[in-house]
A and B are shown apart, each in its own frame.
Chain A
């Protein structure tokens, strides 16, 4: 069809311009705010250039380390708990699969503040878990306001983000590949280690990033379950903007460092994902 070419180009041009409002939006509400964070991070109260804020972030290296440490532990626990479940679900029949996945997602539709609040009721010294323990003649355990409680809160809130990408990758694995491995004499353990696990790596990677990023930057879970003594990066940022230690310049510097840190982590994770199978694979 030679003739409609010019016309087509014309309509293509028109179509491109329908995204113009979005492009403007993108510049105003994504690029400019990010630039503002950078500008605030490198200026003082009077707007003069300074490196003091960035240097001041160094004082909080223990908070950064704690956040990364707790976030990493939570991510590993999510992976260890979530992988078997995703695997089990992917092996059941299709009808049951959709019910089970629904059940995994259902808690996510309930506000996470409410769910985390409920954990306070469970974990308190006079809370439900301790009451049950006492009922059976066991001693109480102090759980609330500990690091363990913060990690528990993270695992609880973010484990669906681990299960869902793992499940979607595991169901997409071609059954014939597994059958081929079995035909070639691999036992179940070998099939899993040499075939299923490597093929599910894109799911592992997107799961890990989807849990790690919110876990490191959370500021509510630590406040509610950590009792304020286990300050995390999120709490630190909150304090600089809306809290007692009002200093948006320092807050921006901390945000900038957090942002760069996470972008580096994502970059490293993407390196492991050789074939880029996760590209555009958004799962919510």
Chain B
């Protein structure tokens, strides 16, 4: 890299990381509320408070439950959908893919609002549960599904269509051919979809905001915190999350590096 390019890259990364560095530094600030830009000394008090905040822990639990359920269901549904869609005729496939792409193109806020209308209307029709955990899970599955489908489809297209038939010619039942041949072949796509669905769900604020009712997820909790009294707890929380993310990414990276060594797999785009 030339000097100019280095300086440019540095400046952009400075822009990207400045707020994160600020958050991390102020999470160790000993000063109390009201001085979020004066550093008075090192302390861990906000971390202590963080882990005693029962509302926050409840929000964290909700977020994880929703993300696990949404990722699991959307991966299974999405993989099955991708299998079916590749076998459809051209016309039908186009229609289905256009509808599938719609939530990705549509602004988040419109998706959130439209699902809110659905849940409220459904509530009037069928009765029973109002907005809450159930509606959150349904909403999250809905916006995760397109990402799963779109990461499984390319793997199916890359796969030799004769493979499954060859397995059946060799005496496999269609079921065995699927589980022993097709599934391992498209597994990287499924895993990418699963990870994507999980991270999307954990991070979602806009759709959750409209479909949560009074149930709190972590992003909603953070939002309410930034609106009311601003507590440095939030800095401690974000530092913890950032630490967890870095560790997770390192693990994933080491694993994919190993994979790449063992076979020349095409690079994953996540």
Contact = CB atoms under 8 A, between A and B. Distances in A.
The 3 closest A-B pairs by CB, nearest first: A19-B84, A118-B19, A22-B81
Contacts of A11: 174
Nearest to A100: B9
B5 A255 contact: no
A121 B8 CA distance: 25
B42 interface: no
Interface of A: 4, 8, 11-12, 14-23, 25-26, 28-34, 36-37, 40, 81, 84-85, 88-89, 91-92, 100, 102-104, 106-107, 109-119, 121-122, 124, 126-128, 131, 156, 159-160, 168, 213-214, 216-217, 219-220, 224, 234, 237-238, 241-242, 248, 251-252, 255, 258-259, 262-263, 266, 280, 282-284
B114 interface: yes
Contact of B22 (A8, A122, A126, A280): A122
Nearest to A25: B77
Interface string B97-123: 001101111111111011111100100
A115 B20 contact: yes
A161 to B, nearest CB: 12
Contact of A213 (B105, B145, B206): B105
26 contacts: A17-B84, A21-B77, A21-B81, A29-B139, A29-B141, A29-B142, A31-B99, A36-B117, A91-B1, A92-B1, A107-B16, A109-B203, A110-B245, A111-B203, A111-B222, A112-B205, A113-B226, A114-B234, A119-B19, A121-B23, A241-B210, A251-B113, A252-B117, A255-B114, A284-B147, A284-B200
A238 B109 contact: yes
B138 interface: yes
A113 B205 contact: yes
B236 to A, nearest CB: 11
A97 to B, nearest CB: 10
Contacts of B219: 111, 113
B118 A242 contact: no
Contact of B96 (A4, A26, A219, A284): A26
Interface of B: 1, 5, 8-9, 12-13, 15-20, 22-23, 26, 36-37, 77-78, 80-85, 87-88, 96, 99-100, 102-111, 113-118, 121, 138-139, 141-142, 145, 147, 149-151, 153-154, 165, 169, 174, 196, 199-200, 203, 205-206, 209-210, 218-219, 222-223, 226, 234, 237-238, 241-242, 245-246, 249, 253, 269-270
A86 to B, nearest CB: 10
B85 A19 contact: yes
Contacts of B210: 241-242
B205 to A, nearest CB: 6
B242 to A, nearest CB: 6
B107 to A, nearest CB: 3
A22 B96 CA distance: 10
A168 B199 CA distance: 21
A156 B23 CA distance: 15
Contacts of B1: 88, 91-92
A217 B107 contact: yes
B87 A16 contact: yes
A159 to B, nearest CB: 8
A111 B218 contact: yes
Nearest to B151: A282
Contacts of A29: 115, 118, 138-139, 141-142
Nearest to A218: B109
A262 B105 contact: yes
B120 to A, nearest CB: 8
B122 to A, nearest CB: 9
B99 A26 contact: yes
Contact of A88 (B5, B149, B238): B5
A280 B150 contact: yes
A160 B142 CA distance: 24
Given A30-B142, A33-B118, 12 more contacts: A16-B87, A18-B83, A25-B141, A28-B118, A34-B114, A103-B13, A109-B199, A109-B203, A113-B222, A114-B23, A126-B37, A234-B109
